[in-house]
Each structure stands twice: as structure tokens, then as C-alpha cells.
């Protein structure tokens, strides 16, 4: 099917062009913070009725974590995906107009910022990671849709009826809309799984459990979609025509997620409300 006629620029104010990708970051943060506020305000969801910090602090938290996502995402891309190029052209590290963000780097920056912020408030840092796991799916959903609008990170050629001909594809052949696969799995499905975990099984009462569920769900989704998603052109496949950098970087997240679930489920609980 032909690519929808969507301009990657949402609107322009004079010479300033605002892209859908930037709006995805902005609204992902705002909607995530709004949902996070509701979770923090519902203290009965949390271990001992104590969220990692007060609900009114969510906007300060959102500001610092958004900066950490952008910084970590850029550093992660430079280090993991194209280091030789940036060593030869260091000034290009600051050029983000042509893309170049790593989810794994952004997630690491987000986690470090969340831990530092929560410790400054005297809260449980594992619970802050649970909060991130509960809201991050919103940003993932919007971010992957923005990838689709930008005609980037598309998949391998396919004969399936929903294959999309992307305008940026030099071959002009139908391809897997892998961005939408990830939006569905990492955004919608994982959000629903975690929502059931937090509001039916009260998973937030076991610090680290929701973060572990998120890690497992994201890693499995990313690893699966990578089989039909084209690797970054400068890296290609790392092994055997199938192993990608995205899969390699997702494996530690999977292991950490399993570890967090085991820790949370075996740790002795007391005083739950």
C-alpha cells in the first residue's frame, strides 16, 4: 500500500518548523506525567501506601527525566550505533536534525535521573523505576508512530497486504511497517498488561515488579520486531544475517527484568496497605 500523505513537519512558525517527532517527545512526557500523577495520588497502590515521591512533584520529575531521555538517547546513539563517524566528526554529535536517538541510551538516562530524583526526596528508588515502567509505554507508542510518520526505521520487504511503500526507500518496495508493530506491542499491549498488573494485582506494592514486567515486555517485543526490521545501515547485521544491535542491547534489559521480577516476588513483604 502507498504511504499515507503525512508531512513530517506538523506546523511551522516563520522559519521554525516543528516536527511530529518533537511533538511525540513533548506529549509523551506530558501524558506520561499526567498518568504518573494519578498513580502517585492513589497511595493505596503502593508498598506501605508510600509512593516514591509526592504526586505534586511529578512535573519537576518530568522536566529532569525528559532532559535525561534526550541526553541519554543521543549519547547512546553515538556510542552504540555510529561511534567511528562521530569520532571523525565530533561537531555532528550536536546535530540532531537528521535523527539519531537510541531508546536504550534514553532509558538508561531516564533511570539514572529517576533514581537521583527519588533519592533526593527520600523515596524508594525501585518504586520510581516502577513508576517509569507504568508510564513509559505512552511515550513509546507516540515515538514509534512518529518514526512511521518520518518514514524511518522501516522493515524488510514483504508480500503481506499491509506492506507499506515508504517514500524514503530507494528501492520503492512494500515493507513491514515495523514502527507500527512496535507501537502496538511496546505501547498498547504492554500498557494494558502493566495496567492490569498495577490495578488488579497491585504489583506496585512489590517494589521492582512493574519495572521488571516492563523490562521483559519491552525486550521481548523489541527482539521479536527486529527480525523484520532493517538494521541501521552503518552497522548492518552483527551475525548470521539476523542478529542486530537492537537485539543485543535488549538482552541485558531482558535479564535485568527477569531479575527484578524474581527479587520482587521473593522479597519478604510487610505492612502492605
Task: Please give the tally of structural domains in the chain.
Answer: 1
- pLDDT tens per residue, the chain (273 residues)? 888 888 889 999 888 889 898 899 899 999 999 999 999 999 999 999 999 999 999 999 999 999 999 999 999 999 988 888 899 989 988 877 666 788 889 999 999 999 999 999 999 999 999 999 999 999 999 999 999 999 999 999 999 999 999 999 999 999 999 999 999 999 999 999 999 999 999 999 999 999 999 999 999 999 999 999 999 888 888 988 889 999 999 999 999 999 999 999 998 765 443
Please tell me the pTM assigned to this model: 0.91
Task: Note whether residue 10 is domain-resident.
Answer: no
Q: Is residue 43 part of a domain?
A: yes
Burial class (CB in 10 A: 0-12, 13-18, 19+), 119: middle
Assess if residue 37 is contained within a domain: yes
In a domain, 6, yes or no: no
Residue with grid cell 507504568, as numbered in its chain: 134
For cell 513533548, name the residue: 26
Whether residue 122 lies inside any domain: the answer is yes
Q: Would you state the pLDDT for residue 269? A: 67
Q: Does residue 60 form part of some domain?
A: yes
Domain that holds residue 70: 30-266
Give me the residues paired with residue 155 across strands.
229
Determine how many CB atoms are found less than 10 A away from the CB of residue 240: 6
Q: Of 219, 221, 139, 68, which is closest to residue 211 (Cα–Cα)?
A: 219
Grid cell for residue 225: 520486531
184 occurs within a structural domain: yes
In a domain, 24, yes or no: no
Amino acid at each position: 500500500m502507498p504511504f499515507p500523505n503525512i508531512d513530517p513537519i506538523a506546523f511551522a512558525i516563520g522559519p521554525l518548523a516543528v516536527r511530529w517527532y518533537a511533538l511525540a517527545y513533548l506529549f509523551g512526557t506530558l501524558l506520561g506525567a499526567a498518568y504518573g500523577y494519578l498513580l502517585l495520588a492513589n497511595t493505596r497502590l503502593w508498598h506501605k501506601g508510600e509512593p516514591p515521591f509526592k504526586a505534586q512533584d511529578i512535573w519537576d520529575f518530568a522536566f529532569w527525566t525528559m532532559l535525561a531521555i534526550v541526553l541519554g538517547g543521543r549519547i547512546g546513539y553515538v556510542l552504540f550505533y555510529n561511534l567511528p563517524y562521530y569520532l571523525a566528526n565530533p561537531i555532528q554529535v550536536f546535530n540532531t536534525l537528521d535523527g539519531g536517538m537510541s531508546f536504550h541510551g534514553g532509558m538508561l538516562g531516564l533511570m539514572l535521573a529517576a533514581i537521583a530524583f527519588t533519592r533526593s526526596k527520600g523515596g524508594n528508588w525501585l518504586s520510581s523505576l516502577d513508576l517509569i515502567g507504568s508510564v513509559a509505554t505512552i511515550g513509546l507508542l507516540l515515538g514509534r508512530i512518529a518514526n512511521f510518520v518520518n518514514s524511518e526505521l522501516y522493515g524488510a520487504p514483504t508480500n503481506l497486504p499491509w506492506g507499506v511503500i515508504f517514500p524514503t526507500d530507494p528501492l520503492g518496495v512494500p515493507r513491514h511497517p515495523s514502527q507500527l508493530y512496535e507501537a502496538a506491542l511496546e505501547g498498547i499491549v504492554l500498557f494494558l498488561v502493566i495496567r492490569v498488573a498495577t490495578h488488579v494485582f497491585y504489583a506496585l506494592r512489590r517494589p521492582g515488579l512493574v519495572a521488571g514486567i516492563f523490562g521483559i515486555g519491552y525486550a521481548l517485543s523489541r527482539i521479536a520486531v527486529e527480525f523484520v526490521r532493517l538494521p541501521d545501515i552503518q552497522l548492518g547485521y552483527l551475525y548470521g544475517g539476523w542478529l542486530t544491535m537492537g537485539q543485543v542491547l535488549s538482552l541485558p534489559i531482558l535479564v535485568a527484568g527477569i531479575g527484578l521480577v524474581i527479587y520482587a516476588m521473593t522479597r519478604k513483604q510487610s505492612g502492605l496497605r
